A and B are shown apart, each in its own frame.
Chain A
Amino acid sequence: MTQTRLTRDILLAALVLCTLTSTFQLAQSQGAESAINQASNTLASTCQAAAQAQAAGANVDGLMTTLNEAADLLSKAQLANAAGDYSAANNYASQCQSKITGVTAEASRLQQEALNQKSQSTTFTVLNLLVSVAVLFSGVVAWFVLNKRERRSTDGAKSL
């Protein structure tokens, strides 16, 4: 009777332990998956910010170096997750997330700087074109004046 009860207790304890272990593993796996998704989404939005800055004419070499390091960490997180090493996956995903913190703000700053520079450059272009047109105009006017003077002197010589 006692032996049966003992066996039953042991089986029950083993069952509880198995359930707890698998629940813990499942929670760990879901945690790692969620951390990876979050890091991936952040990396995507940061990459978009860098792309916009580059399109505005900013030099994004520094940003891209940081983003590449973050991408490398995310790759490690994905590989660790696929290999079932959820704790390492979580760790790499967190490192990736912290690596790109502030990069979006930096990208926006560079984009704004590039836009300001572009606006200054537009002013310079307009002034430059005005000066060029003025030089061209003065040349044409000089040619007309000289042409007229030449014609007048030729006419004078003929009348004499």
Chain B
Amino acid sequence: MGLSHYKTFILVVTIALALLLASPSIQPLLVYPQTDNLTEFWMFGPNHDASYPTNITADQNYRVYLDLTNRLGVAAYYKVEIKFRNQTQSGPDSFNRTSSDLPALSSITIVAADNATEEVPLDISFQYHMADAPSTILHMDTVTVNGFAIDANATTIAWDKDRGGYFGDLIFELWLYNQTTNSFQYHQRYLNLFLKLNW
């Protein structure tokens, strides 16, 4: 029984050994499943779940959490434009992927590393008044975000006969900074809270 009886065994062992030795160099060549480059954008209510404030009382504080996960493959710089509209004003369009034409009340800035999730808590309250009777128009005064009262008196809300109430829409539009054009571009994502403003 010479070594020649083990020739196949020796060949298999050396191939296995060579593969084992080469594995750290081969590993970077492996192609892992790729996901689409996108940004996840969602919102939580005051209890960090999907129960959102909908019935609004003037001057009462409501907390919401805006969350985003950056899956663009690079660190990204975002801004969230906060807008408030009545039912007749322009809103963002999911089908045409366009933002609302309304000017933003204000915006907040978020920076996220690749694959990182960021959360921004927002404390929001609404200040409004009714026009003198017998009017059925509700006048917005300010929307207070994290303690800053932002003028919203350009918005008036008419009584909705069908649904029986005054309804407004608080919108959060996501914009992404484009490093090529050095400007923010609408990232085709928005969240909104449809609110019944009680009086």
Contacts and interface: CB of A to CB of B under 8 A. Distances in A.
A54 B17 CA distance: 34
Interface string B148-187: 1111000000000000000000000000010100100000
Interface centre among A50, A76, A85, A146 (most CB of B within 10 A): A146
* Chief secondary structure at chain B's binding surface: mixed
B11 interface: yes
Contacts, number: 133
Given A139-B10, A146-B4, A147-B7, A125 B25 contact: yes
Contact of A64 (B10, B13, B107, B111): B111
B118 to A, nearest CB: 7
Interface of A: 40-41, 43-44, 47-48, 50-51, 54-55, 60-61, 64, 67-68, 70-72, 74-76, 78-85, 124-125, 128-129, 131-133, 135-136, 138-140, 142-143, 146-147, 149-150, 153
Contacts of A43: 77, 109, 111
Given A43-B77, A67-B111, A135-B21, A140 B179 contact: no
Interface residues of B, number: 46
Contacts of B30: none
Contact of A61 (B22, B110, B113): B113
A50 B113 contact: yes
Please report whether the interface of chain A is mostly helix, strand, loop or mixed according to DSSP. Answer: helix
B11 A68 contact: no
